[in-house]
Structure 1
Amino acid sequence: CACYPSRGDTCACIIQGSDTCACIKQGGDTCACIIQGGDTCACIIQGGDTCACIIQGGDTCACIIQGGDTCACIIQGGDTCACIIQGGDTCACIIQGGDTCACIIQGCLYHKVQN
């Protein structure tokens, strides 16, 4: 499932039982990827505002925002939530039953481990 909107506001990919959902948006506002039983959800936004990845039973949620504001990763039963923001404001990672939440903001590593 690949979305490449040029001037739209929303890119939404919903995959059930698939492996990869990739959304690439330039100048947009929202990139939302929802995977049930999938492996990878990658959102890349240039100049956007929000990147939200929701994985149920998945493995990896990676959000990369250049010049954006918010990167939110929500994993239920997952393992890793990594947020990389360049020039952004907020990196929020929420893991339920996960192991590691790593946030890298402007060259600084904020590492939080949950049981």
Structure 2
Amino acid sequence: MKGLKGLIKSKPESTGNNQTEYPPGSEGWKLAQKERSDQYFNHTTSKKWDTIYKWGQSIIEVNIQLAETVRREQSVKEEIRRLMMSFEPEDKKQVQTLNDNLADLNRKYGYLSTEHPLGI
């Protein structure tokens, strides 16, 4: 039994880098493991919350763009209806331009409505 007493250390050894090494099974080692797991959990959770925040922001931005596009689309449609009642040649040319604008808005609307917020 005398030989075993020399192997069991009552105090943890200190290394040169100001960290204390605890032998496996001691309370200090368990606390160090718990601290490491807490740090890992906090790191991964903060990354997840950051991703969720960016995702939410991009959803808000896309919704604002969709609202602006729909508003513009409605105003163009009203303008087309108004000009279709007129029989002047300049108005007919303007209707064609507005139809082109409407097609562009439809492409933009389709792009915005199918775009995934995280680019996936």
Give the TM-score taking structure 1 as reference length.
Answer: 0.21
Q: Which has the greater radius of gyration? A: 2
Q: Which has the higher contact order (CA 8 A, sep 6+)?
A: 2
TM-score by length of 2: 0.20
Which is strand-richer, 1 or 2?
Answer: 1
Q: Which has the higher helix share?
A: 2
